[in-house]
Structure 1
Amino acid sequence: MSTEAKVPISDASSPASSGEGNTNSVERILSVAYELFSRRGIRDVGVNELIERSGVAKATFYRHFPSKDSLVLAFLEQRDKLWTVEAIVAQARGRGQTPEERLLAIFDVLGEWFRRDDFEGSTFTQVLLEMGPSHPLGQASINYLEKLRSHVQALAEEAGLADPDGFARSWQILMKGSIISATGGDLDAGKRAQQMAAWLIEHHRA
C-alpha cells in the first residue's frame, strides 16, 4: 500500500526562478504535506512547519499554494491517485480472474496494508471527521469517497450483481469498518470483512 511519495529534498531557501525549480518546489512541498497530513491530520500541521520541512522560502510556498486549504486539496488529489487508484483498485484488479474475485481481492490488499508499519488509516474519512461535511475539505473528502465507491460499483456491474449502487454503498461500509478496526489494532480486520463481503456478493447475485 503506497503511503508517502518521497522526493529528494535539496536546498531551496530562495524562490525558484526556472520551470524545473518550480516543479521541484511543488514536489517537495507535496511530499512533506503528504507525510504530515497522512500521519497527523490537517489541523495539527501548521504552515510554518510545512515551509520549514520542505525547505522552501515562504514566498515560494504561497506562490504555489495561496492557502493551507489549497495545499490540502492537492494532497487529497494525490492521495486519491496513490491510495485509491494505484494501491487499491489497480492491485485488486490485477489479483482476480473474475470481477467477483477482484472485489474480494480489495480486502486482501487492505489486509496487507493493515500490517505495514506505515499504516495510517483512511485519510478521506479522517479529514471528513476532522473538518466536517460543510467545510470545503470535508466536501472534497466526501467526493473522493464517492469516487472510491464508483470503482466498486463498476466491478459490481461487471460481475452482473443486482443493485450495484446499493451493493457499492454496503461494500464501502465494510471497507471503512475494516480500516477503523485495523486502526484499533485488529490486524485480521481485512479477513473478517472479506468473509462478510462474500456474503454480500451472494446476496446481490441476480
Structure 2
Amino acid sequence: MNPETNVPAAAVVSPTAKSVPATSSDRIMAVAYELFSTRGVRDVGVNELIERSGVAKATFYRHFPSKDSLVLAFLEQRDKRWTMDAVLSEALRRGSTPREQLLAIFDVFGDWFAREDFEGCSFAKVLVEMGPVHPLGQASISYLAKIRGHIQAAAEAAGLVRPEEFAYSLLVLMKGSILQAMEGDLQAAKRAQRMAVWLMEHHGA
C-alpha cells in the first residue's frame, strides 16, 4: 500500500514490490505475480511466463507441473504479501484499538486505490474467471474466508456482538469498495469506511 505521508517508503510493504529473484523458481514466481495480479489468470499463457522469466520450458515444468499449480503458488504468495503484509499488518500499525484497526483497513485501501499500480483483488478476480467449482476458484474462496476470519477475530476483540455476521458484512464493504475503485472512484474507501462505522454501531460498538 502507499505509505502515509510521514512514513518512510522503506517501512511500507507494497503488494507489487519487486526484488531481484535469486533462482529460476523465484524468477518464474516474480513474473507470475506481476502478470496474474494485473491481468488475471486466463489472459496469461505459459509461453509468455516462460519467455518473460527467461527459463527453459523444461525448467518451468520442473518447478510448476502445470499453470494451475503456478496460480495456486501465486495465490499463496498473494495472501502473504497483500492480505497479511500490505493490508492487515498496516491496519494494525495504524490503529491502537481493534475498532480503529478495523476502520484503518479502509485508510490502507484509500492509499492503495490512489496508486498507479492499483490492481484490484486477485482472489475475487480469479474466482470470477474460474468459477466457484474450479480448484482455483475454490482456493480463492478459501483465501477470502481466511480474510473474513481475521476480521471476525478483530471484531471479537473489539467486543462486537454477532462478530461472524459483522465479518461477512465488512467483507462486502471491502470487496465493494475495491470494485468501485476499479471504476475510478477514488473516494470508494472513505465511503465504505463511513458505512463500516454505521455497521459497528449496529453491532454494538
| Percent sequence identity over aligned pairs | 69
1:89 aligns with 2:101: no
The code of the aligned residue for 2:118 comes to F
Query: What residue in structure 1 maps to residue 184 of structure 2?
Result: 185
Residues 7, 28 of structure 1: 8 Å contact kept: no
Aligned residues: 193
**2:23 partner SS:** helix
Unmatched runs of 5 consecutive residues or more in structure 2: 2-13
The code of the aligned residue for 1:182 comes to A
Unmatched runs of 5 consecutive residues or more in structure 1: 10-22
Query: What residue in structure 2 maps to residue 33 of structure 1?
Result: 32
RMSD: 1.1
The code of the aligned residue for 1:149 comes to R
**1:45 partner SS:** coil
CA distance in 2 between partners of 1:87 and 1:3 (Å): 6
**1:69 partner SS:** helix
1:6 aligns with 2:18: yes
The code of the aligned residue for 2:167 comes to A
Residues 113, 186 of structure 2: 8 Å contact kept: yes
Matches of residues 1-206 of structure 1 in structure 2 within 5 Å?
Answer: 1=1, 2-8=14-20, 24-205=23-204
Residues 4, 31 of structure 1: 8 Å contact kept: no
- Shift of residue 5 of structure 1? 4.3
CA distance in 2 between partners of 1:27 and 1:85 (Å): 20
Larger radius of gyration: 1
The code of the aligned residue for 1:173 comes to V
- Shift of residue 8 of structure 1? 2.5
The code of the aligned residue for 2:120 comes to G
CA distance in 1 between partners of 2:58 and 2:172 (Å): 43
Residues 15, 86 of structure 2: 8 Å contact kept: no
